[in-house]
Amino acid sequence: MARIITRKPNWDSSGLPPEMDTLLRRIYAARGIDNSEMLDLGLSKLPSPDSLKGIHKAISRLIEALLSNERIIIIGDFDADGATGTALMLLGLRAMGFRFVDYLVPNRFEFGYGLTPEIVSLALKQKPDLLVTVDNGISSIEGVCSANERSIDVIVTDHHLPGAQLPDACAIVNPNQADCQFPSKNLAGVGVCFFLLIALRTELRERNWFLRESLAEPHLATWLDLVALGTVADLVPLDHVNRILVQQGLIRLRAKKCREGISALLRVSGKQSNHLVAADLGFAIGPRINAAGRLDDISLGIQCLITDDRQDALDLANELDQLNQNRKKIERDMQEEANVLLKKFDFSEISDSSCAICLFHADWHPGVVGLLASRIKDKYQRPVIAFARDDVNRDLSQKKPQLKGSCRSVPALHIRDALEAVSNRRPKLLSRFGGHSMAAGLSLDECNLESFVQEFQAHVSQKLLTKDYEVAFMIDGHLRPDQLVQSTAKLLRDSGPWGQHFPEPSFSDEFIVEQQKVVGKNHLKLVLRHPDGHRYLDAIYFNMDMEKWPNYDSKRFNCVYRLAINEYGGLQKFQLVIEYMESI
């Protein structure tokens, strides 16, 4: 049985509009919203970029490059955040008059992650004067050193947590570096780029650059579709700043004022733009761009995002869609192999050997292990690291095969700090690591895997309590039968954007199951009825546990669910989306 916990409105909601719907008032109060100011998602509410540490050094170096016609290469990351950030920087700098600006994203299967010495050597072929990292660089000590040795300056823009040592870059813009006073520490990489461009445009405006050069001053809101997509896809917390960025991007998307590539990706994923929500970016668009970085080359995704040609965009979107289908097939095969490995774990009790799950298979795809780790974590409510062989970072001098691990954690364990603790105890165990509180990555010699697993599990067993392993659903209470209608679903849909740390409202109630059947691979379609109501309610339970469902032996279930409006064939239909159900 899962724990179902009702969110409590711990905040005084008297500052919210008195005419606000009572249900919505309760939901907002439980998320820390206690005044109308926090609901204002206008662009004027964005903070000034001036408080970003390193922003002025970065702007000075960029303007120097602009005035001297220097060649700039943007070094991006190979996920949706890196792709959108790279596209944003490329489009933004070109619009401001930079003549020689291009991008280079390391193919993860040839060069690994971030600004490495190998990437610097590759960039040298284009004879750059300045490298600008996007969504990476804060841990690229050796790469920045290599660039400096070749008299190439580096500006690091990143949002990942910094380590004890920072790269010797000419400027670092990262809200998570020490002493940075920027009010939001949760910006995605593309968000950092957006604020950098705001500051750059302001400085150029004050220098009369656009007037002098007869350039149209760029309207940065034009690219908020990119910012919204990267922010949602990277699963950063939706604090007030990020909610503004996402909401403003969604407004443009709904009005069809977006990049041709994003419009094409919406078409191939079957999404209508007029009622687009943040979850559509995370579950429909983001995975298709990420598929390029996982299986092939993220440059395909970047080209889709920067092209102005409609047919070119559609062709690229179809390629990305096919890659995503291939990724799904690879992930399903890996999940079957993981299920075999998981049989050796005893999950009936918490022990040093079962407190965290570490899995390795020689045939696993290094670009997909993160998705595998995430699904296993969701099912077993334990920190998970899935490993694959990583020929990119193999120690050629000693012929030591390397493994790449992708980590996903539970809320009670800061996974990057856990890796750092292991590294501090055993300094030579890990080759590299980095990431955030809930997701991280690492590399190590294959011969060190067993020792690492022992150290990691020992650390986890000391940090987590029994309750931290329990599956828990946070809900917003119960709904009356008269609230289980499309108008309530529309109210909640339009009151977002919802996302990480600002979750979409969910509820828990008892229902009578009138019909149930499996659709697709592992989805359960249901017809429900509230015990105190008479209407039949359509419901869908995605990715159900095939060992538990369908269950024809019981008619009454307790369900955790969300309200949704399903759009198909131009028609809208109210339904419940089940997140968890248990027979009563």
395-400 own/partner pairs: CB under 8 Å, 24+ apart: 395/431, 395/445, 400/445, 400/446, 400/447
Choose among 38, 20, 30: nearest CA to 506: 30
- What's the half-sphere exposure (Cβ side, CA atoms, 13 Å) at 426? 19
pLDDT for residue 328 is more than 90? yes
- 3-state SS string for 401-416: CEEEEEEECCCCCCHH
Picking from 465, 497, 532, the residue at the C-terminal end of a domain is: 465
pLDDT for residue 181 is more than 90? yes
pLDDT for the residue 395: 45
The answer to whether residues 561 and 489 belong to one domain is yes
The answer to whether residues 173 and 143 belong to one domain is yes
- Measured CA angle at 277 (ends 274, 283), to 5 deg: 120
pLDDT mean over 249-256? 96
pLDDT for the residue 259: 97
Range of the domain at 537: 475-583
pLDDT mean over 237-259? 97
The reply to whether 334 falls in a domain is no
pLDDT for residue 454 is more than 60? yes
Confidence grade of residue 112 (pLDDT, cut at 50, 70, 90): low
The reply to whether 505 falls in a domain is yes
pLDDT for residue 353 is more than 90? no
Beta-bridged to residue 103, according to DSSP, are 74
Question: Does a cis peptide bond (omega within 30 degrees of 0) precede residue 497?
Answer: yes
Task: Quote the crossing angle between the two packed helices 260-268 and 286-295, to the nearest 10°.
Answer: 90
Q: How far is Cα 422 from Cα 166, in angstroms, rounded to an integer?
A: 20
- In angstroms and rounded to an integer, the radius of gyration of the C-alpha atoms of the chain is 24
Task: Quote the crossing angle between the two packed helices 310-342 and 369-380, to the nearest 10°.
Answer: 50
Q: Are 338 and 302 in contact (CB under 8 A)?
A: no
Q: How far is Cα 355 from Cα 324, in angstroms, rounded to an integer?
A: 32
The answer to whether residues 183 and 153 belong to one domain is yes
pLDDT mean over 102-108? 83
Beta-bridged to residue 157, according to DSSP, are 134, 173
pLDDT mean over 364-388? 94
The reply to whether 15 falls in a domain is no
pLDDT for the residue 125: 93
The answer to whether residues 97 and 235 belong to one domain is yes
The answer to whether residues 516 and 560 belong to one domain is yes
The answer to whether residues 433 and 546 belong to one domain is no
Give the global pTM.
Answer: 0.91
Q: Report the CATH number that the domain containing residue 75 is assigned in CATH.
A: 3.90.1640.30
Number of domains composing the chain: 3
Confidence grade of residue 11 (pLDDT, cut at 50, 70, 90): low
Picking from 465, 489, 510, the residue at the C-terminal end of a domain is: 465
- Cα distances (Å, whole numbers) of residue 301 to 85, 308, 412, 479: 12, 14, 34, 42
The answer to whether residues 438 and 481 belong to one domain is no
The reply to whether 366 falls in a domain is yes
465-479 residue pLDDT tens: 988 988 889 999 999
Q: Are 392 and 380 in contact (CB under 8 A)?
A: no
Confidence grade of residue 394 (pLDDT, cut at 50, 70, 90): very low
The answer to whether residues 267 and 204 belong to one domain is yes
The reply to whether 154 falls in a domain is yes
H/E run at residue 443: strand 439-445
- Cα distances (Å, whole numbers) of residue 65 to 73, 127, 155, 174: 11, 14, 12, 21
The answer to whether residues 243 and 353 belong to one domain is no
Q: Report the CATH number that the domain containing residue 415 is assigned in CATH.
A: 3.10.310.30
Residues 6+ apart with CB under 8 A from 541: 523, 524, 525, 526, 549, 577, 578, 581
The reply to whether 330 falls in a domain is no
The answer to whether residues 559 and 485 belong to one domain is yes
Lowest mean pLDDT among 83-87, 314-318, 392-396: 392-396
Q: How far is Cα 182 from Cα 426, in angstroms, rounded to an integer?
A: 34
What DSSP assignment string belongs to 292-348? Answer: HHHHS-THHHHHHHH---HHHHHHHHHHHHHHHHHHHHHHHHHHHHHHHHHTT--TT
Task: Quote the crossing angle between the two packed helices 224-233 and 286-295, to the nearest 10°.
Answer: 70
The reply to whether 401 falls in a domain is yes
Task: Quote the crossing angle between the two packed helices 260-268 and 299-306, to the nearest 10°.
Answer: 110
Task: Compute the 3-state secondary structure of the chain and give helix, strand, coil in percent, each to the nearest 5.
Answer: 40, 20, 40
The reply to whether 165 falls in a domain is yes
The answer to whether residues 495 and 577 belong to one domain is yes
Q: How far is Cα 120 from Cα 143, in angstroms, rounded to an integer?
A: 7
Confidence grade of residue 114 (pLDDT, cut at 50, 70, 90): confident
Beta-bridged to residue 472, according to DSSP, are 3
CA 533 from centre of chain: 39
Q: Report the CATH number that the domain containing residue 550 is assigned in CATH.
A: 2.40.50.460
Picking from 303, 319, 335, the residue at the C-terminal end of a domain is: 319
Segment of 423-437, 443-457, 546-560 carrying the highest mean pLDDT: 443-457
The answer to whether residues 122 and 230 belong to one domain is yes
pLDDT for the residue 544: 86
Q: How far is Cα 474 from Cα 63, in angstroms, rounded to an integer?
A: 49
pLDDT for residue 399 is more than 70? no
541-563 residue pLDDT tens: 998 888 888 888 889 999 999 99
116-172 residue pLDDT tens: 999 999 999 999 999 999 999 999 999 999 999 999 999 999 999 898 899 999 999
Q: Are 443 and 429 in contact (CB under 8 A)?
A: no
pLDDT for residue 51 is more than 90? yes
pLDDT for residue 104 is more than 60? yes
Q: Encoding tokens for residue 430?
A: 């890990």
pLDDT for the residue 534: 86
pLDDT mean over 296-313? 96
